[in-house]
Chain A
């Protein structure tokens, strides 16, 4: 999908999230000036007061859909935009927010609000990715997104180039950078089922991959539970270990009995 104009109008929007992916935009440092040189930033509430009523070429949406009240705003963004990019795992796969989906709304409201849980204005449903509500043209995974990948996506879209979405397990990237496998140092890791593209920074930093980009297209969910159990993760916990970012993958596969 190409864009016919030189300086496309770009906007950033956010829903239920930590806004860390927007922070990653500011973390581009002076490279941000270069990005601003090729796009016309028209709306970005966290950093700008300006808004637009004109048609938007590329809208970036961060955050999950967690309440009906946000549906209209999402539909409105879709109607105003030529291209919609869900960026950050809250938007692409419901991310960390989906962890609460392990419980019923009664349960999680009670855990946080206790006696106030039944106040009528407390509205929060199951966390869902943006694609559950509107058509999403591109997904940029990651918690947070990799800012260089984000900059590259913008450059690709501006130049009409189809963006690359990694579709292999994180293990591939650990091998490429010669990181010792977490399983070889007595740890567990979600790498075998996790979507790559991040460059595998976590195992290189000495912590397991938590699959923050969700699963790649052909994850062996049975096998990862078995592998983790063999690595010493208690069998019950191995079943739910992957839920930090991949709750809905497991749920869809009906792997978790609750």
Chain B
């Protein structure tokens, strides 16, 4: 895969983007889902969120791109700063934010009525941004970034759902990359995939590191250890609210955790 394609982004080549959460809280109706999360997403690094099921990892990253509030009755408190600017400030456009902070979901979800080509450019076509003219270029660039180009370049007009699970997930990644986000969030992107497809996606994450800031939620500790630079460990407290127990460089968290609960989780005593 050519380096040139990774680096040939039409915007923000030199700027690295990071996020910080300050006392982030989230509720689903009355249920407190996240408590006082203070987290730093370092630019051009891969940050992994690990923890047992239900600890709030997915809720946390959905707060980062304001997808949490789409659920009826859901609420957010605290601040989330993207390059120093609070994305929850009144007057911020969540639609624009979500273009800048992209997301890939656990189950691949290509648009069923669209071809592979249309899927990749869906974000561009549907949000009335410029770029209509060079769509074929965008498709090739995004599919190459997602390591899918060679497998689909001869069948771009076939339905997006005709691909295997792993290919569909890479298509979704290509679709997310096509709008050139500043940050890429991935919510357990490999949990619905077989080991070979998982390996390809992990390689992909490594190759994207230079151009993108990535956050990955995973329940697979080994995966977190393999791909990430920073790791955050979360736990569900007694009142079912998720808390950030520990956060630091991946090698430190996994070899020398500061909190006993982290150590217990990592060594498999629970979770």
A and B found bound together: no
Residues of A within 8 A of B (CB): none
